[in-house]
Chains A and B, each alone.
Chain A
Amino acid sequence: MTINCNDRERIFEDGTAAEWASLEAHAGDCAVCREELRVWRSLSIAAAEMRDYSDSPMLWPRIEEALVQAAEPGERNTRSWGWLTFWKHVSVGWQTAAAGALVLLLAVSASWFYVHQRGLQEPHDPSLLKSKALTEVERTETAYIRAIDKLAADAKPQLDRPATPLLSSYREKLLLIDSAIDDLRAQAGQNASNAHLRYQLLAMYQEKQKTLEEVLEEKR
């Protein structure tokens, strides 16, 4: 390999072992390159003077203590979440599959909870009366029926012998209402907590009350 002074800086920057050997051979005959080579290498020798690898006996114990102290607060956290670190060694494909499975599991769980919650909510259907409310309804209903019965007793003479076709119609209507009331009471007896039946029953009693009031009005 032929080397000249122009190659010197390139070799200083990024020369191969063979190029350095050629430069040294060239420096044997070239005073300038010999001087440059020596000065260049001298910087490396000077740099070696900055190398102090003497032992510092107190440094490791100090670092060790700091590492132990730093590890303590995080130890519980590491114990709790340390198992997650194994995911780092699992391939991306498996991580994706696991994530998909997790999403599916969450979706199934959410659906189950939704359905289950609906099932739990059924006893809270407002159409069903709680026992305390039912007692209150039945007590009021009894008083209401007693009051309507008094009205019926007042209207009974007109209805037993209807003087007009209108009173005859009232009598027929009241018979139908009483029949409907009997049916509803029978259903309510089987399902006392059903508020819907209670509302229908109340409507029938109100209709009976109104009809009786009209019969008594007709009498006057």
Chain B
Amino acid sequence: MGMTGLALPWETKLSPLADRWETRVEPSEQLGGPGQATASANTEDAALAVACQSGDLRAYERLYALHGARMRNMARNLLGSMADAEDAVQETFLKVQRKVATFRGQSSFVTWTYRILINTCYDARRSRMRKKEVANEESEESVRPEPRASATHPALRMALERALTALTKHQRDVFLLYEVEGFRHAEIAGMLEITETASKNTLFQAKKNLRTMLEPPRSGAAGAR
């Protein structure tokens, strides 16, 4: 599953940062369970849902202030264009406004909002693909990311963006939600309507595939396992 031209010089590019990276472990796996911050977030989430249901525009503004940037970034990574991403975020807010009366609280309000965003992005992408009349499924799945503002590792980011297009839709969604947007598996499970275990497994498969696509050609043996 290797991808010619995507291989990265891991050691030279990533070692300094990799050494500083701390392993991310789900809060549910830690002793003590959810803390006070989680309870506070849940309260705010419920209050936000009620305020939006009452039609309070300030509640939508609050939702945007809390999640607008992340929603925009998520949409941009799914659609490949900032203009399309902003359209998708706007459409998501309109859908939230239309459907908020049907929100019953089975998931958190924010999770529900992101689920709408993800579906909106896929609708937008399907619509765009229909317009372009691309018959090839490979082409349909691919997203050509537009250039971003300068980053610390632009080559690394571009290589990863290209590699992501080769993943399955599910693997890409989970990778973006977990690794880029920082959601927990429980939240991702709610957004994508899968189990938490499926989310963990999908992330693992996604990273394995990305690792294979991005790894440099090895000169020696793969090593013992």
Interface set of A (CB-CB < 8 Å, partner B) = 5-6, 8-9, 12-17, 20, 24, 31-32, 35, 38-56, 59-60, 62-64, 66-68, 70-71, 78, 85
Contact = CB atoms under 8 A, between A and B. Distances in A.
A42 B179 CA distance: 11
Contacts of A17: 23, 25, 29-30
A54 B21 contact: no
B149 A52 contact: yes
Contacts of A56: 68-69, 72, 86
B211 A49 contact: no
Top-9 shortest CB links A-B: A32-B223, A47-B179, A49-B157, A13-B204, A42-B14, A53-B69, A17-B25, A20-B23, A46-B160
Contacts, number: 143
B225 A39 contact: no
B223 A35 contact: yes
Interface in B34-49: none
A16 B153 contact: no
Secondary structure dominating the interface of A: helix
A42 B57 CA distance: 41
B152 interface: yes
A31 B72 CA distance: 40
Interface of B: 10, 14-15, 17-19, 21, 23-25, 29-30, 53, 55, 57, 60-61, 64, 68-70, 72-73, 76-77, 86, 89-90, 93-94, 97-98, 101, 148-149, 151-154, 156-157, 159-161, 175-176, 179-181, 197, 200-201, 203-204, 207, 210-211, 214-215, 223-225
A32 B69 contact: no
Given A13-B204, A32-B224, A54 B69 contact: yes
A39 B176 CA distance: 18
Contacts of B154: 49
Contact of A67 (B60, B179, B200): B60
Given A49-B156, A50-B157, A66-B93, A12 B207 contact: yes
Most chain B CB within 10 A, of A5, A32, A46, A78, is at A46
A52 B152 CA distance: 12
B80 to A, nearest CB: 12
A46 to B, nearest CB: 4
Given A47-B160, A60-B68, A63-B90, A53 B73 contact: yes
B90 A66 contact: yes
B30 A39 contact: no
Contacts of A13: 200-201, 203-204
B70 A39 contact: no
Contacts of A15: 25
Contacts of A38: 10, 14-15, 18-19
A53 B77 CA distance: 12
Contacts of B176: 47, 50
Contact of A70 (B19, B97, B207): B97
Nearest to B201: A13
A63 B85 CA distance: 13
Contacts of A46: 14, 153, 156-157, 159-160, 214
A52 B205 CA distance: 25
20 contacts: A12-B204, A14-B204, A24-B23, A35-B223, A43-B207, A45-B14, A45-B21, A46-B156, A47-B180, A49-B153, A49-B156, A51-B73, A51-B181, A53-B70, A62-B86, A62-B90, A68-B57, A70-B97, A70-B98, A85-B53
